[in-house]
């Protein structure tokens, strides 16, 4: 946290220094561009910041899933996967609504947002990268201040994420994920042992690739995953959305006053 705060203070200085120049040139706010058109942050790293939207259409085979084959599942997880897809023969189709946790207002989790037609915004700050999904206004805080996963961190919907740069690739490591969610739209289950490694690469100005690797010895026979490709949408705004907002009803108290 100390490092993160230090990073923040330094960064604000950097932004202040950069901003008059940006105004003068009316350049995009993400900094100087490299030869391939990929903007870079003041520390020289590729700037992934922007609004991104998955390439393709929901009917494409690769849209709702991370790979064309079904994932390598342990017997229990396989049973659950088959239950989630009971009667579904088209591999490009989603899992069944009536077996879908998000259909019953469960948060969508860390990676399923890559397999639905909703944009994701990335904001790369010093010490912290934010991954903000339009769907249910989810926030993933990816710490880049050098911290590790804390011991005893509770299971949460978005998990605990830390990020490091491997050359021009941003590598994000995530643990502590609640097991009630699907990792994709086709209904792939996971356990609380799930460990996700995501590799983000902005291959050109308009294209972001995310290689996702799932490791979960309780649910999968071996690590698996795939690549998702996103298009830059500089003119888009992230809109407000809350999961299940259509079902909100006064007089159906669901909570007691917590404070």
Site string for other proteins, 156-175 (x = CB under 8 A): xxx-----------------
Which stretches of the chain are assigned E, i.e. beta strand?
50-54, 120-125, 128-133, 139-143, 160-166, 169-175, 195-204, 207-215, 224-232
Site string for other proteins, 2-31 (x = CB under 8 A): x--xx-xxx-xx-xxxxxxxxxx----x--
Q: Does 107 bind other proteins (CB under 8 A)?
A: yes
Site string for other proteins, 191-230 (x = CB under 8 A): ----------------------------------------
Stretch that binds other proteins, among 56-64, 161-169, 207-215, 237-245 (CB under 8 A): 237-245
Pick from 93, 67, 57: nearest CA to 214: 67
- Specify the residue, 51 or 219, whose C-beta has the smaller distance to other proteins: 51
H/E stretch holding 25: helix 2-25
Least distance CB 216 / other proteins (angstroms) = 20
Round to whole Å and give the CA distance between 75 and 73: 6
144 CB contacts (<8 Å, ≥6 apart)?
Answer: 126, 127, 128, 129, 162, 163, 164
Stretch that binds other proteins, among 71-79, 167-175, 184-192, 232-240 (CB under 8 A): 232-240
Contact set for other proteins, span 117-156 (CB under 8 A): 123, 125, 130, 132, 137-139, 141, 156
- Specify the residue, 6 or 203, whose C-beta has the smaller distance to other proteins: 6
Round to whole Å and give the CA distance between 91 and 110: 22
Tokens of 222: 């071996």
> Longest Cα pair distance anywhere in the chain, in angstroms?
61
Angle at 245 between CA 243 and CA 248, to 5 degrees: 130
- Specify the residue, 123 or 199, whose C-beta has the smaller distance to other proteins: 123
- Specify the residue, 62 or 202, whose C-beta has the smaller distance to other proteins: 202
In contact, 227 and 209? CB cutoff 8 Å: yes
- Specify the residue, 5 or 146, whose C-beta has the smaller distance to other proteins: 5
Among 32, 67, 105, 197, binds other proteins (CB under 8 A): 105
Residues forming the site for other proteins (CB under 8 A): 1-2, 5-6, 8-10, 12-13, 15-24, 29, 98, 101, 103-107, 123, 125, 130, 132, 137-139, 141, 156-158, 180, 237-240, 242, 244-245, 247-257, 259
């Amino acid at each position: 946290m100390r490092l993160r705060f230090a990073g923040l203070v330094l960064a604000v200085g950097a932004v202040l220094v950069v901003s008059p120049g940006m105004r003068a040139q009316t350049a995009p706010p993400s900094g100087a561009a490299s030869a391939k058109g990929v903007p870079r942050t003041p520390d020289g790293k590729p700037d992934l910041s922007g609004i991104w939207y998955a390439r393709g259409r929901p009917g494409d085979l690769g849209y709702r899933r991370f790979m064309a084959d079904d994932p390598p599942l342990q017997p229990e997880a396989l049973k659950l996967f088959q239950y989630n897809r009971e009667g579904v023969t088209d591999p490009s189709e989603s899992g069944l609504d009536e077996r879908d946790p998000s259909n019953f207002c469960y948060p969508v989790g860390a990676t399923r947002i890559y397999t639905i037609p909703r944009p994701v915004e990335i904001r790369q700050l010093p010490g912290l990268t934010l991954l903000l999904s339009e769907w249910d206004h989810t926030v993933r805080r990816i710490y880049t201040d050098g911290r590790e996963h804390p011991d005893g961190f509770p299971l949460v919907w978005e998990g605990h994420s830390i990020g490091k740069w491997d050359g021009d690739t941003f590598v994000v490591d995530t643990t502590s994920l609640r097991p009630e969610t699907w990792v994709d739209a086709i209904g792939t289950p996971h356990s609380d042992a799930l460990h996700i490694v995501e590799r983000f690469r902005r291959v050109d100005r308009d294209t972001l690739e995310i290689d996702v690797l799932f490791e979960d010895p309780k649910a999968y026979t071996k690590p698996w995953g795939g690549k998702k490709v996103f298009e830059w949408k500089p003119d888009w705004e992230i809109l407000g959305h809350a999961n299940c907002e259509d079902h909100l009803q006064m007089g159906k108290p669901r909570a007691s006053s917590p404070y």
